[in-house]
Amino acid sequence: MRLPDSVTGSFLVVLGAAAAYGGWLLPPVPGQPVGPNVFPLVIGIGLALCGLAIVFGIGHSFEEQEELIPIEDGQVAAAPPPQGKLYGLRALLPPALLLFYVVAADRLGFIITAAIMVYVTSTTLGAKWKLALPLAALSPFAIHLIFGKLLRVPLPAGLLPTPW
């Protein structure tokens, strides 16, 4: 997800300008020189200026290249990960699963939703089903015991209520 500085910088310029304009539109407090509009205005302008500076590469010389630790003897080199087209999209899986939790937890209940999340995350990270399946079966109960039972978080029961 490494984007060129010109792209991220331009995005910040647009965001900053939008924030400043949005702040400008807010109604002032009657009888006061300043209100809720000043702070977003200042921040928006600052953000846009930073964005401009980034587009023009100011401050780039301060960035440190990430130090790659060379492989030493005795440490086996890890196999290079398969670089398919869709490989980069795997990073979006965790937030997608969280959104799935938001949508599904009330209907399916905590235990089932959590089991699906655990199984998917675990297998994506390379676990075999022999490991992922027991993990998906047991860990939701453990988490439910801690948060639901001990800490009284109202976790949705859904289709499969817990025995306690």
Partner 1 sequence: MLKTLVEAFALISTWEVIIAMFAASVYGLVIGSLPGLSATMATALLVPVTFYLSPIAAIATIVAASSMAIFSGDIPGALLRIPGTPASAAYADEAYAMTRKGQAELALGAGVWFSAVGGIAGVLSLMILAPPLAEIALSFSTFEYFWLALLGLMCATLVARSSPVKAIAGMFLGLLVSCIGIENPGGVPRFTFGITDLFGGIEPIPALVGVFAVAQVMRAMLTPEPPPLPRRKFGSIMAGQWKLTKQYHWQMTRGNIVGIIIGVLPGAGADMAAWVSYAMSKRFSKEPEKFGTGHVEGLVEAGASNNASIASGWVPSLLFGIPGDTIAAIAIGVLYMKGLNPGPTLFTEKASSMYAIYLMFIIANILMIPLGIAMIRVAAYILLAPRSTVMPIIMLCCAVGSFAIGNNMFGVVTVAAFGVIGYVMEANGYPVAAMVLGIVMGTMVEQAFVTSLIKSDGSILPFFERPVSAILAAMAIGALLWPVMVWVWRKVKPVQTAAATIR
Do 39 and 23 meet the contact criterion of CB atoms below 8 Å apart?
yes
How many Å apart are CA 102 and CA 139, to the nearest integer?
A: 19
Do 55 and 9 meet the contact criterion of CB atoms below 8 Å apart?
yes
Q: Which residue has the tokens 């899986």?
A: 93
Question: Which residues between 129 and 148 bind partner 1 (CB under 8 A)?
Answer: 131-132, 135-136, 139-140, 143, 147
- Closest listed residue to residue 45, CA positions, set 18, 10, 71: 18
Minimal distance, residue 103 CB to partner 1, in Å: 9
For partner 1, the closer CB: 47 or 108: 47
* 164 binds partner 1, rule: CB under 8 A: no
* 162 binds partner 1, rule: CB under 8 A: no
Minimal distance, residue 92 CB to partner 1, in Å: 7
Binding mask 24-63 for partner 1 (x = CB under 8 A): --xxxx--xxxxxxxxx-xxx-xx--xx-xx---xxxxxx
For partner 1, the closer CB: 102 or 163: 102
* 104 binds partner 1, rule: CB under 8 A: no
* 111 binds partner 1, rule: CB under 8 A: no
Do 37 and 21 meet the contact criterion of CB atoms below 8 Å apart?
no
Minimal distance, residue 117 CB to partner 1, in Å: 6
Interhelix angle 93-108/110-124, rounded to 10 degrees, is: 160
DSSP character string of 62-93: GPPPPPPPPPPTTSPPPPPPP--SSGGGGGGH
Question: Which residues between 69 and 98 bind partner 1 (CB under 8 A)?
Answer: 69, 72, 75-76, 78-81, 87-88, 90-98
